[in-house]
Amino acid sequence: MTNTLHRQGTPDSLAGDYIVFLTPAGGINREGCGEKKRRFLRLALSEGPVNLGADGKNLFTGGEPEQMIAAVTDESSVAATFSDPEAVRRLVGHLKRESLGISVNISGLAEEVDGILRSHGIVRHSIEHSLGVLGRIERLPTRQVLEITTMCGHGLISHNFARKMIDWVKLGKLTPRQAGRYLARPCVCGAFNIDRAADLLTKAVEMA
């Protein structure tokens, strides 16, 4: 899940973008963790995520959420994406109470996440920040495009696809939310936030 580390955007935009995921440790607590991952996803689902990732499927490619969850095994990667930090706060409460025993990580505004944890009496254990992009940055597209495409950190949403969806929204061929649903398809981890994508596409059209 380095794929959630380098999301670009303004503080206002990132304030509505959180990914919660479970990661077992091989050889220590991975065996038999499938049921815990399924429980995590059901808890997450109860708090209204904008996307879920399970075993290479997301809410826009995986069919019914319960089908996705039922297919999860010890080996599956699982993640839930939220726009509302209060939903994340409630989910953290569930996870603390249930003590699943698998490592939980949250990607999002660091101070907001820290506040959520402290409201539950949790002191963060480890942390990881992005230092940005170095090298041939002149080869990169506009910030407008990168704010959309970096929501899939595996790079599966191409810069050209984002440009095409921006154009189609400008032309009135798609609404921002419809375009967001198309953009969400390639992101197999479910880390793509279509609420935020719709906001970014709306702003892109307003700026045109």
Partner 1 sequence: MQIDEEKCVGCGNCVPVCTMGVISVVDGRSRVNEEECVECNTCYRTLRSEDHNPTLVRAARWVLRQFRLAYDPAPDVCPTGALTPPTLTWPRSLRATFSDPTIKHPSTGTGGRGTEEIKSNDVTGRLKPGEIGFVVELGRPGLGARLRDLQTVAMALAEAGVRFEPKNPVTHLMTDTAVGILREDVLNEKVMSAIIECRAEAERAPGVLATLRRVASEIESVLSAGVAARCGPDGSVPYAEVVRASGFTLSLNAKTNLGLGRPLFEERSEPAQTSAGRA
Positions 9 through 38 that interact with partner 1 (CB under 8 A): 11, 14, 17, 21, 23-26, 28-29
Minimum CB distance to partner 1 smaller for 14 or for 205: 14
CB-nearer residue toward partner 1: 69 or 187: 187
Residues that bind partner 1 (rule: CB under 8 A) add up to a total of: 80
Binding string, residues 50-89; x marks residues near partner 1 by CB under 8 A: ------x--------------------x------------
Neighbours of 86 (CB within 10 A): 10
Burial label for 194, CB within 10 Å (0-12, 13-18, 19+), is buried
Q: Which long-range contacts (CB under 8 A, 24 or more apart) does 67-75 make?
A: 68/41, 69/38, 69/41, 69/42, 69/45, 70/38, 72/34, 72/37, 72/38, 72/41, 73/34, 74/24, 74/30, 74/31, 74/32, 74/33, 74/34, 74/37
| H or E segment and range at residue 91 | helix 85-98
Q: Which of 49, 85, 153, 190 binds partner 1 (CB under 8 A)?
A: 153
Smallest distance from partner 1 to CB 24, Å: 7
Q: Please state whether beta strands 57-58 and 51-54 pair in parallel, antiparallel, or not at all (unpaired).
A: antiparallel
Of positions 45, 144, 158, 177, contacts partner 1 by CB under 8 A? 158
Span 112-141, contacts to partner 1 by CB under 8 A: 113-114, 117-118, 121-137, 139-141
Tell me the window of 42-50, 64-72, 111-119, 197-205 that interacts with partner 1 (CB under 8 A): 111-119
Residue nearer to partner 1 on the CB measure, 69 or 78: 78
Geometric angle at alpha carbon 60, from 160 and 190, rounded to 5°: 80
Short-list 112, 138, 89, CA closest to 14:
112
* 97 contacts partner 1 (rule: CB under 8 A): no
Pick the closer one to partner 1 by CB: 49 or 53: 53
**Region from 43-51, 82-90, 97-105, 197-205 binding partner 1, contact rule CB under 8 A:** 97-105
Q: How distant, in Å, are the alpha carbons of 55, 155, 194 from that of 83? A: 22, 21, 9
What's the min distance (Å) between Cβ of 66 and partner 1?
Answer: 21
